[in-house]
């Protein structure tokens, strides 16, 4: 039987990379092309694969961003009209409407918020390879989930989060997929990558950070510039602990916002800004006025204060006093 050519579209972080690797491992896939993207660029990735010939498209660890939702549906419909099988594995929070729409197109959709996407793949992909190492699968899922879900209850969690960063090149992500899909949890080449990141983290965290803060109805929100040197979850945790923040917003100059909290529902906040994600770890991308971008190059706090002003207008409480939109 001939191998079918598959397109695998995955998120750029370790959960996206590891879920792609585990899918390749379990499904025993040999003919495939990898594409890595962010949720707000998913429609562009689907456009790319729809213009080539694939017999199956697999989407991994990518949730829905409302501004691009209609485009995503349009490309999914095009793929299905071309008799291309589409499978989507995710662990972010989906609205009921999204679930109905995507399922109605005939997409094989697997959404499970109780685990990371690597765990979703482990649960729902029918194994097609011989001699599966279930200890390897179990440790991979636990290690990736430990970092991606911010639990750190497995020794590999902190290492995996540092192994793949969003600033990394796709060539590195493909190398990690190749290693893990061959049944290896870790190889020596990974050590230097993690050591490099730890050294950079220590250097940044030992210096003074540029911060801005605002309190909204007893919720302390701290905004800081994101850094290529430190993973967002680590930087956010450090800021929460040191400055007593309830919500941390990490801001990129291009408008990407990463929200982290231990008790505030930041997913609804991200959703209101066109993004999405988890209850306590989400992201969005906003348009920043040209004058804010220009002057913030001289004074970064101007950008942080602009974001805080925008966020403070979105944040409110339910009658149960559970922070949300």
- Confidence at residue 111, expressed as pLDDT on a 0 to 100 scale: 97
Alpha-carbon distance of 43 to 194, in angstroms, equals 32
CA atoms within 13 A on the CB side of 323: 21
Radius of gyration of the chain (CA): 20
Residue 30: its pLDDT value, please?
92
Q: Say what the pTM is.
A: 0.83
Domains of the chain, residue spans: 6-196, 211-324
For residue 290 the two structure tokens come to: 């040209």
The third-level CATH classification (topology) of the domain covering 6-196 is: Rossmann fold (3.40.50)
What confidence score (pLDDT) does residue 322 get?
A: 44
Measured at the CA of 97, the angle between CA 35 and CA 145, to 5 degrees, comes to 50
pLDDT in tens, the chain (325 residues): 456 799 999 999 999 999 999 999 999 999 999 999 999 999 999 999 998 889 999 999 999 999 999 999 999 999 999 999 999 999 999 999 999 999 999 999 999 999 999 999 999 999 999 999 999 999 999 999 999 998 889 999 999 999 998 789 999 999 999 999 999 999 999 999 999 888 888 888 877 788 999 988 788 999 999 887 788 888 898 899 999 999 999 999 889 999 999 888 888 889 889 888 888 889 999 999 989 988 888 888 999 999 999 888 776 543 333 444 4
Q: Following DSSP, what letter does each residue of 276-307 receive, concatenated?
A: EE-SSEEEEE-PPPHHHHHHHTT-THHHHHHH
Distance CA 325, CA 315 (A): 5
In this structure, are residues 232 and 290 in contact, taking their beta carbons and an 8 Å threshold?
A: no
Reported CATH class of domain 211-324? alpha beta
Q: Residue length, the chain?
A: 325
* Unique residue bearing structure tokens 């939109």: 325
């Amino acid at each position: 039987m001939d191998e079918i050519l598959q397109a695998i579209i995955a998120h750029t972080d370790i959960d996206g990379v590891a879920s792609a690797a585990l899918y390749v491992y379990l499904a025993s896939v040999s003919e495939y092309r990898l594409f890595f993207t962010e949720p707000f660029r998913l429609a562009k990735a689907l456009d790319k694969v729809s213009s080539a010939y694939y017999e199956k498209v697999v989407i991994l660890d990518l949730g829905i961003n409302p501004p691009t939702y209609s485009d995503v549906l349009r490309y999914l419909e095009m793929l299905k009209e071309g008799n291309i099988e589409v499978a989507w594995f995710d662990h972010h929070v989906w609205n009921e409407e999204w679930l109905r729409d995507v399922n109605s197109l005939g997409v094989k959709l697997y959404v499970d918020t109780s685990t990371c996407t690597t765990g979703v793949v482990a649960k729902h992909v029918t194994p097609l390879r011989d001699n599966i190492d279930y200890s390897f699968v179990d440790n991979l899922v636990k290690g990736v989930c430990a970092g991606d879900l911010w639990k750190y209850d497995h020794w590999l969690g902190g290492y995996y989060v540092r192994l793949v960063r969003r600033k990394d090149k796709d060539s590195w992500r493909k190398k990690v997929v190749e290693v893990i899909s061959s049944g290896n949890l870790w190889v020596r080449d990974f050590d230097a990558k993690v050591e490099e990141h730890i050294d950079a983290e220590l250097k940044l965290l030992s210096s003074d950070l540029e911060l801005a803060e605002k309190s909204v109805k007893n919720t302390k929100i701290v905004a800081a510039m994101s850094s290529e040197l430190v993973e967002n979850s680590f930087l956010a945790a450090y800021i929460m602990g040191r400055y007593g923040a309830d919500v941390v917003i990490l801001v990129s100059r291009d408008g990407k916002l990463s929200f982290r909290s231990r008790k505030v529902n930041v997913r609804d906040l991200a959703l209101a800004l066109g993004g999405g994600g988890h209850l306590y770890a989400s992201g969005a991308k906003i348009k920043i006025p040209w004058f804010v971008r220009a002057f913030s190059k001289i004074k970064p706090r101007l950008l942080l204060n602009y974001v805080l002003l925008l966020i403070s207008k979105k944040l409110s409480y339910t009658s149960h006093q559970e922070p949300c939109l």
